[in-house]
Amino acid sequence: MADRVLVFDVNETLLDITTIEPLFARLFDDASVMRLWFAQLILYAQTVTLSGTYAPFGELAVGTLHMLGETEGVAVTDADTAELRHLLTNMPACPDVIPALTRLSDAGVRMVTLTNSPPTDSPTPMEKAGIAGFFEAHYSVHSIGKFKPHPDCYRMVADALGVPAGALCLVAAHLWDTVGAQAVGAQGAFITRVGNAMLPAGGIITPDYAAPDLGIFADQWLAPR
């Protein structure tokens, strides 16, 4: 197991995006609009990658909020976008994260992160959440100008670590992320947090692991093989 590396997605997998719901409740009178915004954000992040262009994830997040405001007839102000930026860089860890990472770390599991978000100055969102120290390295797609699930994102991590893609297991609360990692030969661990589910369609790669939270995934990963 020492030669295998867990690669954790960050937003929603480790950091709790539900903490930004109050902004959407205030603007749209419906906290669940956050899910629509996030889905649109991922759609357009993947769109710019497919079209061979790039914009930082934070800029896309703000732009998507403005776009959603226009379609819903809601005025989005500079103060609103400033609040969104603040919330996105100050999300706490999900409740199951620290206990699971502690167990994995104590067992000697190698762990890194891979995020669509660009790097930030210290204190980083991971440092603020108190979990940065669990990982030997933190990687961002910003360095290659492509968003997950582009194959180059996962290959970048394998190359940086000096291991084959098959030594990686991508842990994410998004099926599109595990599918992307598995397409280059890595394993995939799908954490089915609220708002995320399997896609029952032919041709979709099935995750190697599936668990409702990181604690149960840790049980699976650490079980005798």
Residue 125 and residue 51 in one domain = no
Domain end position, chosen among 45, 65, 88: 88
Residue 157 and residue 198 in one domain = yes
Proportion of the chain in helix, strand, coil states, percent, rounded to 5: 50, 15, 40
Strand-by-strand arrangement of the 209-211 sheet:
137-140, 110-115, 5-8, 168-172, 187-191, 209-211
Mean pLDDT of 176-193: 97
Residue 83 and residue 100 in one domain = no
- Tens-place pLDDT, residues 124-158: 999 999 999 999 999 999 999 999 999 999 999 99
- Tens-place pLDDT, residues 72-125: 999 999 999 999 999 999 999 999 999 999 999 999 999 999 999 999 999 999
Residue 152 and residue 101 in one domain = yes
| pLDDT bracket for residue 2 (50, 70, 90) | low
Say which DSSP state 11 is in.
B
Residue 144 and residue 188 in one domain = yes
Q: How many domains does the chain have?
A: 2
Residue 138 and residue 209 in one domain = yes
Domain end position, chosen among 65, 88, 111: 88
- Tens-place pLDDT, residues 35-80: 999 999 999 999 999 999 999 999 999 999 999 999 999 999 999 9
Is 80 exceeded by the pLDDT of residue 225? Answer: no
Domain end position, chosen among 88, 119, 147: 88
Residue 11 and residue 46 in one domain = no
Residue 117 and residue 201 in one domain = yes
Exposed/middle/buried for residue 76 (C-beta within 10 Å: 0-12, 13-18, 19+): middle
Residue 32 and residue 56 in one domain = yes
- Tens-place pLDDT, residues 159-184: 999 999 999 999 999 999 999 999 99
Is 90 exceeded by the pLDDT of residue 191? Answer: yes
Residue 112: strand pairing partners: 7, 137
> Residue 67 maps to which CATH number?
1.10.150.240
Segments forming the whole domain that contains residue 139? 5-16+91-222
Residue 126 and residue 32 in one domain = no
Residue 196 and residue 138 in one domain = yes
In angstroms, the CA 166 to CA 217 distance is: 19
| pLDDT bracket for residue 3 (50, 70, 90) | confident
Say which DSSP state 44 is in.
H
Residue 80 and residue 136 in one domain = no
CA distances from 217 to 189, 207, 224 (A): 8, 12, 13
> Residue 204 maps to which CATH number?
3.40.50.1000
